[in-house]
Amino acid sequence: MFREFLSLFAVLWLCWSPSTGEAQAEYMKYKDPKQPVATRVKDLLSRMTLDEKIGQMVQIDRSVANEEVMRTNFIGSVLSGGGSEPLPKATAEDWVNMINGFQKGALASRLGIPMMYGIDAVHGHNNVYNATIFPHNVGLGATRDPNLAYKIGVATALEVRATGIPYVFAPCIAVCRDPRWGRCYESYSEDPNIVKEMTAIIPGLQGDIPNNSRKGSPFIGGKSKVAACAKHFVGDGGTTKGINENNTEIDWHGLLSIHMPAYSDSILKGVATVMISYSSWNGLKMHANRNLVTGFLKDTLKFKGFVISDWQGIDKITTPPDSNYSFSVEASVGAGIDMVMVPYKYSEFIQDLTHAVKNNIIPMERIDDAVQRILLVKFTMGLFENPLADLSLVSELGKQEHRDLAREAVRKSLVLLKNGKNGSAPLLPLPKKASKVLVAGTHADNLGYQCGGWTIKWQGFIGNEDTRGTTILGALKMEVDPSTEVVYRETPEGDFVKSSNFEYAIVVVGEPTYAESAGDSITLTMVDPGPDIIKNVCENVKCVVIVVSGRPIVIEPYVSSIDALVAAWLPGTEGQGVTDVLFGEYGFSGKLPRTWFKSVDQLPMNVGDPHYDPLYPYGFGLTTESVKDLVARSTSAAAGSSVSIFAMLKTLIIILFLTG
């Protein structure tokens, strides 16, 4: 009896003892930051149900997210679509509080897997009021400066983290081969070599990848860095006639040599995610292209991060879109897409994917591959240790150092296309001191036009109220001498210009704001009455015309009447970068990142094409010296001249002395 009592006591002790059963059951390797990431991923994956795994593969828009949705559906990610914000002119604190609310819902789920919040930050933290808006990628391509792109990545990561966000859908590494494409300004260049070089922004965003990193493994270097996303895989910039989301017709060699190099480079730099393109390659939708997504990206290029769809991208596998949603789910996940940007009908997606797995249409191995890739990125980001954002970085948003960097980017991006009319002296740099100058044009005092699409709202905004920055007109008024009278007329009449005795005029014209398909254009013309403004001003006074656009536009008919012509692209919030070079504080140095056509009938036309006959060729850009350098050089030359005259006089005196 006593022996039986001892046995029972031993069993009870084992069940109760905190050093054995219960404690061992509570120890979870995935929660231990001392464990290797691979071990943590494997441990967590082994604990997950099918519902929890599929939940991790879902990304929903913030407008349908709340704590309950996050907890009960095990949602892996939330995003802000273009312009989707907590409230108008939301502060960094507003963003942090909203995101932490969603995160608390995710952490309350059975396994407490944190969600990752994503946002488009394609030229700075562009959805957020008061953020620094950098030039769009086409302007950065004109700088030919990968180190500048790196520094912009660093600044953007800090501003994004300031609002509690750890993931950005950037950079776009498309190679735009036709300016009729509405996303051409998101491309650094028509030249794949320039695009490849500008992937330097990725280590700026994510941190410099350690030398011993495994090829293809994602890397995110701490709380001041964000996970990046190389997009849109692959060939999105090569569609027929530049039509957005259209078909890219090109052979395998062309795809590899033009559209793929930047992806190979991004993977070597440790990019965390890759987004799939809406477009097709030779008739097959990229969202359903298993050979390229799994076969090439994952197997050949050894990409270890996760692959994400574009916004409702899987819906568009069928024609018309969403006509067979269950097929779209099966085709996209089967192709190798790991996280799906639903963004609204998450219940239907979860239901269809669950059905496909349970009926062996999609193997469990494919689900496990997707989830382990997502978890790998989350562990690498440090999300499990620091899931909730704090307010420690809020002062980074729109800080002066970042605006100074953006100003530098603007001045380096400007391309001088013409300086002097019919053999006359160069007009630039302009004198700051003048009796009276004219500023004209639709884009001279319009921050929205200056920033372009993907700024505050998806399609951009018009006017000066939606965010903080300096317009070109505002910058001009700050730059000129206090005695100079600046007259602003958006659309001046010719007689007014002729009779007003202006010393010179600055005309700022360009394109409207647009994003994606709304920007597709077969005419590539400037906003009316741009041509009339050029005519009225430039026929009556010396003028510099500044073109604010996302791409080359029709300008050839007006060039002969213009004294100086500047391509300013979409410079963003820091208009003083434009006046820095107009008045010679710095010289012009930008080079065309893409060919400037004479007529749209020539398109598509890229450097190296047999029919290449541009108005301004790829790589063209006049240079000027800064006023400071000009003064220094002229002073040096004058000093040299004085020495020469002195030497000549000395020699003459000696000769006269010697000859008596």
Q: Which residues are known catalytic residues? A: 310, 516
Q: Over 530-576, what HEC string results?
A: HHHHHHHHHCCCCEEEEEECCCCCCCHHHHHHCCEEEECCCCCCECH
- For β-strands 284-285 and 340-341, DSSP reports them as unpaired
Residue 53: which residues within 8 A CB-CB, separation 6 or more?
A: 45, 367, 368, 370, 371
Write out the two tokens for 243.
């039509």
The three-state secondary structure class of 214 is coil
Per DSSP, the three-state class of 507 is strand
Q: What are phi and psi of 449, to 5 degrees?
A: -60, -40
- Closest to 81 measured CA to CA, from 272, 344, 305, 349: 344
**Residues sharing a CB contact under 8 Å with residue 327, sequence separation 6 or more, in sequence order:** 317, 318
Comparing C-alpha atoms, which of 133, 120, 117 is closest to residue 65? 117
* DSSP 8-class letter at 238: G
Contact 260, 237 (CB under 8 A): no
What is the sign of the dihedral through the CA atoms of 105, 106, 110 and 112? Answer: negative
Q: Give the CA-trace dihedral at 187, 569, 407, 87, to 10 degrees.
A: -70
| Amino acid letter, 201 | I
Rounded CA separation 439/629 (Å): 27
Query: CA-based angle 394:396:398, to the nearest 5?
Result: 110
Beta-carbon count within 10 A of 565 CB: 24
> How, if at all, do strands 167-168 and 504-510 pair?
unpaired
Rounded CA-CA distance 545/616 in Å is 16
The C-alpha atoms of residue 246 and residue 238 are separated, in whole angstroms, by 9
Angle at 509 between CA 503 and CA 510, to 5 degrees: 160
Q: Is 269 helix (H, G, I), strand (E, B) or coil?
A: coil
Vertex 206: Cα angle to 568 and 107 (nearest 5): 120
Tell the residue number behind the tokens 């498309």, with chain if given: 174
- Give counts: helices (H), strands (E), the chain: 23, 17
Please give the Cα distance from 248 to 243 (Å, whole number).
10
Contacts of 435 (CB under 8 A, 6+ apart): 484, 485, 501, 503
Rounded CA separation 563/422 (Å): 9
